[in-house]
Amino acid sequence: MRRDLRRKVWFILILLVAVGVYTILPIFNPTLKQLFFKGQDPLRRGLDLKGGLEVILAPDYRVEARVLSEVENYVRKAFSGLGVAEPTVRRLGKANDNNRYEGLAFKFASAAEANRVLKAGTIKENLTWRSGIEEKKLKVNTTVSAADPSVLEVLVQEDPANFPEDALYQAKVIIENRINSSGLSETLVRLDQNKGRIEVQLPGVRSQEEAERLIKSTGRLNFRLDGKIVMYGNDLVKAEAGRHPQTGAPVIDISFGKTGAKMFEQITTEHVNEILAIYIDEEELMAPVISEPILNGDAQITMGSGTTMQQARDYAILMKSGALPISLRSILVTQVAPTLGTETVKLSLIAGAIGIALVFLFMLGFYGRMGVVADLALVIYTLLVLGVLALFRGVLTLPGIAGLILGIGMAVDGNVIIFERIKDEVRSGKGIHSAVQAGFNRAYVTILDSNITTLIVAVVLSYFGTGAVKGFAVTLAISILTSMFTALFVSKTFLEIWVDKAPERFLAKYGVRG
C-alpha cells in the first residue's frame, strides 16, 4: 500500500475509534458517561422527544415592594403643597410576581386634581433609591390613566442603562451553571440577543415552581439589619445543603472568603443581640439573633419547617452559582408533552432501519463492490454526525432528525455522482487508476456546488430561525459537511485501496456495470 494511502487509512481508523469511544461506549459504560458528559446521555433529546418545560425569560426592570414604598412617600411629598386631597393608592402589577411591581396608581378626588399634580412637574423622572449598602437608579413616568382621568399612574422601573451591556449573556452562563449543578440533563439555554430574551428548555421537568426557582431567581444572598441590606454574599466560597444533627431540619452551611469573613465578623461584633435576617433575593430564609461575634466566616442557615431537602439544595445551588447581573421574569412558560409517544418512537426507529437497509441493498445491487464502499462511507457518516452532535452537546429534535436523514440522502447522492463519473471514464478507455482520479475530479465540482448552496440555506435558517427551524438547520449543516468529507475523502480512500490491490477485479462482474 502506498504511504499516502496508509496515512489516510490510519487517520480514518483513529477518527472512528475516537468517535466510538466518545459517543458509543458511554451509552453502555457509566464511568465514561460521567467522565465525558457528567452522567448525561451523549445525545441530548429535545422537548419534542422527551417532553418537559420551555421557559422564555426577559429582563425584569420592575421594582420591589420595599422600593415602591419609598417611591410612594416621595410622590406624596411631591404633591403635598399643591392643595389636593389625600388620594388612595394601589400598586400596579400582579401580586407575588417576583415580589415586583410596575408602579403606583394614585386616585384623586377628581380629574382636575390629577391633572394639577401632573402639570406641576414636581415628580422627577430620575430618582436614586438607597438603603444600607444598596442603591438603585430609577426611571419614573407619570401619566393620567386612560381608563379613569382621576387616577395618576406613576410607573417606576430600574434604569436599564445601569446594567452591563452583556448582562443577558452573563445571566445565560449563570443559568447554565445552575442547571448543570442541579443534575438536569438534555437541557438547552439559548440567548436571543436581538429580542433580549433567554429561552430555556428543560426536558423531563414537569414542575414550573422547580424550574423557575433555578432559572429565574436572581439568587442574591443578602443580610439585613432593620430591613436594610448590610452585606451581600458575593464572597461566598461554600454553600452546601444538609440536615441539622439534632432536629433533622434542612440547613445550608456557608463559608465566606477572607474579605467576606472580615465583613461578617465586623457586623456580628457590632450588632450582638440584634436580629440579622438572611434573605435570598426578597425571600427571608431565617432571622436569627446574633448571640456572639462570628469570627471564622462560617455560618449555618436553618431552613423553615416547611422547606424540603430539595429546596435547600436548590438554594445552595443559587448561592454557589452567584447572583444574576439582571433580574429576569417569565414571559412564557409552556408545558410540552413529547410529540412522539414510546410506541411511535419504536415504529419510527424500525421504519428508519428498514429505509437505511434498503438504501444499502440498492447500492450493493446496482454498484456491486463499489456499493460496499458507499455503504461503509454511510456508516462512517452516521457515526461522525452523531459524534459531532455529542461533542458540541447538540440537542436532537424531530426537525433535527429530518436534517440528519436529508444528509444521508445527500451522502448517497454524492457517491452515486462519483461512481457514475468513474464508469464514464472507464467506458472512454482510460486506465482504472486514471478513471478513478478523473471521476473524482469531475464529481468534485458538482458535489461541492450542490452542497455549498444547501449549506448557505442552512446557515441562513440557523441565523434567522428559532426553535424547530434552527434545530433542523444546525443538524443539516453538520450533515452536509460530514457527507462531503465521507464522499470526497473516505470513499476515495477505500476505492484507491481497492484499485491498488486488485485493479482487475474492479472491472469484473461485480465491479463497474452498465
| 397-441 pLDDT tens trace | 777 777 888 888 888 888 888 888 888 887 777 777 788 888 888
**CB neighbours of residue 393 within 10 Å:** 14
Residue 102 grid cell: 410596575
Mean pLDDT of the chain: 82
* pLDDT over threshold 50, residue 514: no
CA distance 334 to 436: 55
Closest by CA to 149, choosing from 112, 105, 104, 102, is: 112
Pair 107, 150: CB distance under 8 Å: yes
Strands 134-144 vs 126-131: parallel, antiparallel or unpaired: antiparallel
Q: What pLDDT score was predicted for residue 188?
A: 79
Looking at residue 175, what DSSP letter applies? H
Cell 428559532 sits at which residue? Answer: 466
Q: Which tens digits make up the pLDDT trace of 73-126?
A: 999 999 988 989 999 999 998 766 667 899 999 999 999 999 999 999 999 999
Is the pTM higher than 0.85? The answer reads no
Cell 466560597 sits at which residue? Answer: 237
Q: Which tens digits make up the pLDDT trace of 297-327?
A: 888 888 777 778 888 888 888 787 777 888 8
**What percentage of the chain exceeds 90 in pLDDT?**
19
